[in-house]
Amino acid sequence: MNELIENMFELQSLEFEETVQPNTEERVGALRAKIPKPILDHYDRMGDRGKKGVALVRHQTCSACHMGVPLGQMLNLRKAADVCLCGSCGRYLYLREEATPASGEVPAKKTAAKSSRKQLAHAL
């Protein structure tokens, strides 16, 4: 399913782009052929209203309407089990794959300095 949303996101970037590349029409046709008709119809209805059909998810928030995405949908997006629509604006949600550390590397944990009341009282 992730490939489907990636294709839709690329299609959207080609269709909403100001400048036209020489092979844009061919690429748009090829991407539209890869997307199932019901999903493409919904995407086109959004475009007919002048809205983009796919929105990125950043920090558990839809980038189009700035509403929070429920945890259940976030899990579905991470699993790439199914396409998900934003419950607020109706756009397809696209969660880009996050950069993962190289194999063998463990990200460093940030540790906050802990202070107890006793330590604070002795310091005063």
pLDDT in tens, 56-98: 999 999 999 999 999 999 999 999 888 999 999 999 999 987 6
pLDDT band at 24 (very low <50, low <70, confident <90, very high): confident
CA 25 to chain CA centroid, Å, is 25
The reply to whether 113 falls in a domain is: no
pLDDT band at 122 (very low <50, low <70, confident <90, very high): low
The reply to whether 120 falls in a domain is: no
Mean pLDDT over each residue of the chain, to the nearest integer: 83
The reply to whether 90 falls in a domain is: yes
Cβ neighbours of 61 (radius 10 Å): 15
Residue 89 DSSP one-character state: T
For the entire predicted model, the pTM comes to 0.73
The reply to whether 13 falls in a domain is: yes
pLDDT band at 108 (very low <50, low <70, confident <90, very high): low
CATH code for the domain of 73 = 1.10.287.1490
The reply to whether 111 falls in a domain is: no
Q: Which residues contact 24 (CB under 8 A, 6 or more apart)?
A: 14, 17
Distance between CA atoms of residues 41 and 48, nearest Å:
10
The reply to whether 102 falls in a domain is: no
Report whether pLDDT(112) > 60: no
**Domain limits for position 11:** 2-97
Handedness of CA 41, 5, 76, 63 (dihedral sign): negative
The reply to whether 122 falls in a domain is: no
- Counted domains in the chain: 1
